[in-house]
Amino acid sequence: MISEKPRVRFAPSPTGYLHIGGLRTALYNFLFAKQTGGSFVLRIEDTDRARLVEGAAENLIATLEWAGLHFDEGPGREGDFGPYTQSERLSIYSEHTDKLIKNRDAYYCFCTKERLDALRDEQRSRGEQTLYDKHCLNLTDEEVKRSIAEGKPFVIRLNVKHGKKVKIHDLIRGVVEFDTSLIDDQVLIKSDGFPTYHLANVVDDHLMKITHTIRGEEWLPSTPKHVLLYESFGWEVPQFAHLPLLLNPDRSKLSKRQGDVAVEDYRAKGYLKEALINFIALLGWNAGDDREFYYMDELIKSFSIERINKSGAVFNLEKLDWLNAEHLRAKSDEELARLLREELNATGCAGNSYEEAFLVKVVQSMKERVKFIKEIPVNAGYFFTSPSEYEEKGVQKAWKEDTPALLKGYISKLNALSEPTKEGYENALRSTAEEAGVGAGKLIHPVRLAISGVSSGPGLFDIIDALGKEETIRRINSAIEKLAVKQ
């Protein structure tokens, strides 16, 4: 009996990184569960032992947690339907396979690889679809027992009855119909004793009371096999929703050949989780309006399976960058300061040595000029390290014969400030220029050059306010000394 409350699952294989398409599948399942008051289950499908990667399951869980997709049940968060790792459920699959064999819905197959290859080659030469020919279907119980006793390798296959139609009512695509004459006798148990995706998926979804199977479009051709299995067991079939493919800008399937496809790659590049989730949500879904900026709680309120598109969704990196900048600017200065501190620590710049007030002033001056937090120490390293050299074009433009005298006059004004403020720094500069009978630009440009080493950046007085009076004076004196030698 399927649960009354919606129960959905994300069931990745731990074969490496979490694909960006996998994150979208997880997100849509999560949003649906949270909106409907249901449960979001994580199941690790590790039955493909040849492709298993050590540590990949732990990485998948850590990545989902980072993205804010907290599962209700799963490894380490046990519920009533565990274990949630398929390699720990082998006896369950064996028990259910025995039932299928007893009812003639599955059978042992001892065909060698050589025979199967020859069969496929023969069918291809005739222009036919490659399907198993049921060669082992009619083996007697005695023949099966004898072959097993002799140690012959075998698999267990689904016995697909031909001449039927399988109808699927997909929540995104509507009614999809399949002819069983074109469906292969799918392997259910491999020669290593592990189940294939098809058997384990159906058995686990039923036993875990999954009500909605929301997964990628690539699984649509396999769905009739799953429906046949549900029917063979006499189980209720869950509702299916197959998500559209993710596409490159040239509309080819999103692949590593044309760019990053791992969630971990985007995290390492400095994308905010809020921006990545916002972006991924819009790859195939919209709320029916032009809105593009969402927080997670807003996505939960707005999401509906009915609004998911059938056609593939183009992965537009420029839009992701734009969303990252928008989410960055929407954060509080204190949150940005925390992220900046983490970035400085990660790059060996001793982020913990800086006071929060200083980092807040840095992000206030830079947040409108960057798309990523990591751009701040790269583009404005002068906040953290005094310049050792000065931009040549800036020197030629701003450093004149009377510049040192003007700067010394500004230093005198700065020293006289009892309570330095951004307004005080600006008033001191303008009064210095006025007393010298020059425009403020005659001081603004060389001061910027002296304290930052470059001729462009955020507001000059924002920089001075962040650095403070003493550090600003020290840098100006250093520039006077160094550039006097150059001239």
Residues of the chain with CATH 1.10.10.350: 386-486
* 3-class DSSP assignment, residue 467: helix
* Residues 6+ away with beta carbon under 8 Å from 254: 20, 21, 245, 246, 247, 248, 261, 315
Q: How far apart are alpha carbons 319 and 79 in whole angstroms?
A: 39
Per-residue pLDDT of the chain in tens (487 residues, 90 and over written 9): 455 799 999 999 998 899 999 999 999 999 999 999 999 999 999 998 888 899 999 999 999 999 999 999 999 998 999 999 999 999 999 999 999 999 999 999 999 999 999 999 999 999 999 999 999 999 999 999 999 999 999 999 999 999 999 999 999 999 999 999 999 999 999 999 999 999 999 999 999 999 999 999 999 999 999 999 999 999 999 999 999 999 988 888 887 655 678 999 999 999 999 999 999 999 999 998 999 999 999 999 999 999 999 999 999 999 999 999 999 999 999 999 999 999 999 988 887 899 999 999 999 999 999 999 999 999 999 999 999 999 999 999 999 999 999 999 999 999 999 889 999 999 999 999 999 999 999 999 999 999 999 999 999 999 999 999 999 999 999 999 999 855 5
The bridge status of strand 212-216 relative to strand 165-170 is unpaired
pTM of the predicted structure, to 2 decimals: 0.91
Residues of the chain with CATH 3.90.800.10: 92-189
Tally helices (H) and strands (E) across the chain: 20, 11
Phi and psi angles of residue 387, each rounded to the nearest 5 degrees, phi first: -65, 135
3-state secondary structure 318-371: HHHHHHHHHHHHHCCHHHHHHHHHHHHHHCCCCHHHCCHHHHHHHHHHHCCCCC
Q: Is 5 a catalytic residue?
A: no
- Which of 256, 269, 397, 408 is the catalytic position? 256
Q: How far apart are alpha carbons 472 and 103 in whole angstroms?
A: 85
Checking 452-455 for CB contacts under 8 A at 24+ apart, the result is 452/380, 452/382, 452/387, 453/382, 453/387, 453/388, 453/389, 453/390, 453/391, 454/382, 454/387, 454/391, 454/394, 455/391, 455/393, 455/394, 455/397, 455/398
Residues of the chain with CATH 1.10.1160.10: 256-330
CB-facing half-sphere around the CA of 8: CA atoms within 13 A: 27
Closest CA to 475 of 384, 392, 402, 400: 384
Fold of the CATH domain 386-486: Arc Repressor Mutant, subunit A (1.10.10)
**How deeply is 321 buried, as exposed, middle or buried, from its count of CB atoms within 10 A (0-12, 13-18, 19+)?**
middle
**How deeply is 124 buried, as exposed, middle or buried, from its count of CB atoms within 10 A (0-12, 13-18, 19+)?**
exposed
How many beta carbons lie within 10 A of that of residue 281, not counting itself?
Answer: 21
CATH for 92-189, options being 3.20.20.70, 3.90.800.10, 3.30.420.40, 3.40.50.300: 3.90.800.10
Q: How far apart are alpha carbons 92 and 78 in whole angstroms?
A: 18
Question: CATH code for 256-330?
Answer: 1.10.1160.10
Q: How far apart are alpha carbons 130 and 119 in whole angstroms?
A: 8
- What tokens were used for 214? 């929301």
pLDDT of 486: 56
Q: Which CATH architecture has domain 7-74+200-247?
A: 3-Layer(aba) Sandwich (3.40)
